[in-house]
Amino acid sequence: MATFTIAKLVIREVVRRKLILALLALTVLAVALTGWGFSRIPTLTQRGVPIGEDQVKLIASQLLILVMFMFGNIIALSSVFIASPALSGDLESGVALSMLARPIARREYVLGKWLGLAGLVIAYAIASIAVELVAIQIAVGYLPPRPVEFALFLVGRGIVLLTFALLLSTRLSGMVGGVIALVLYGMAWLLGVVGGLGATFGNETIERVGTVSKLILPTDGLWRGAVYHLEPAIVLAGANAAGPAAAANPFYSPAPPPLAYLVWCVFWILGVLALAMLSFRRREA
């Protein structure tokens, strides 16, 4: 019961700081600008002749991946931003002392923080993705083949970063933990590209680097799963025909992640959350 009470307090605190309001305002601006951009696609011409409907949808599908890459980074940055000071900030301000003086176990305190923050990330991610897809549907009449699956993968990536940042928050200040989480997030994406280059040139050692990075911090692996669910069949067929060379493209995935990898991601989140509880329990307030 205490866990859910803490989760509610977390949500109220974030709303009180007007972070949600700022994100919503920026999201509306981004949706308006991207919606206008998509609406201009049907006006494109090729040698003076308007492009056909199939070309419009093909261009829209590729532009959508870039737009959703932007939204995915917003979700990732927001996850780190709200989680990195979640515990360290409470310890520094003395809020944790007053809360833990009550009959609340430290693991309940950490779990409550995680649930509240995860709820905010999930709500924002689903709402922003849904609004953007509706705007694109209105602008050009295009929807990706599997939008629900895409949203789940993007939400999963946000939860991975949130959980990792919360673990760092048990030992480091908000600024230090946030910087570390963001740097490792960028490195994981870059190593994923490097692994793709290894697959392109048949270098197993370099390819293995990308595979290991997806296991240590599974953000890039989840992004590849998200990309796959945005790609129409014609793009998948064309890229598969290109062979291994397409593997180096960070905005393309030939297949969804295997079930074993998804199971690993779930256990990764649970394991890191358990480490956060253990670390916070052993830290002196």
Could you report the per-residue pLDDT of 203-250, keeping only the tens digit for each?
A: 888 888 888 999 999 999 999 999 999 988 777 766 555 555 566 677
**pLDDT for the residue numbered 131:** 93
On the question of pLDDT at 96 being above 70, the answer is no
> pLDDT, tens digit, for every residue of 240-260?
555 555 666 778 888 889 999
The per-residue pLDDT for range 27-83, each reduced to its tens digit, is 899 999 999 999 888 888 877 778 888 888 888 888 999 999 999 999 999 999 999
Is the predicted pLDDT of residue 94 greater than 80, yes or no?
no
User: What's the one-letter identity of residue 48?
Assistant: G
pLDDT value for 102: 65
Q: Express each pLDDT in 117-131 by its tens digit.
A: 999 999 999 999 999
Residue 144 has a CB neighbour count (10 Å cut-off) of 19
Determine the length of the chain: 285
Q: What is the pLDDT of residues 162-171, one digit of tens each?
A: 999 999 999 9
Rounded distance between C-alpha atoms, residue 170 and residue 276, angstroms: 7
**Taking each helix axis from N to C terminus, what angle separates 147-169 and 53-83, rounded to the nearest 10 degrees?**
20
Q: Where is pLDDT greater, at 281 or 191? A: 191
C-alpha 136/C-alpha 144 separation (Å) is 10
Expressed in percent and rounded to 5, the helix, strand and coil fractions of the chain are 80, 0, 20
Of 2-16, 62-76, 269-283, which range is least confident?
Answer: 2-16
Q: Which positions ≥6 away from 104 have C-beta within 8 Å?
A: 2, 6
Mean per-residue pLDDT over the chain, rounded: 86
DSSP bridge pairs for 50: 45
Q: Which two tokens stand for residue 272?
A: 């890191």
What's the pTM value of the predicted model, to 2 decimals? 0.90
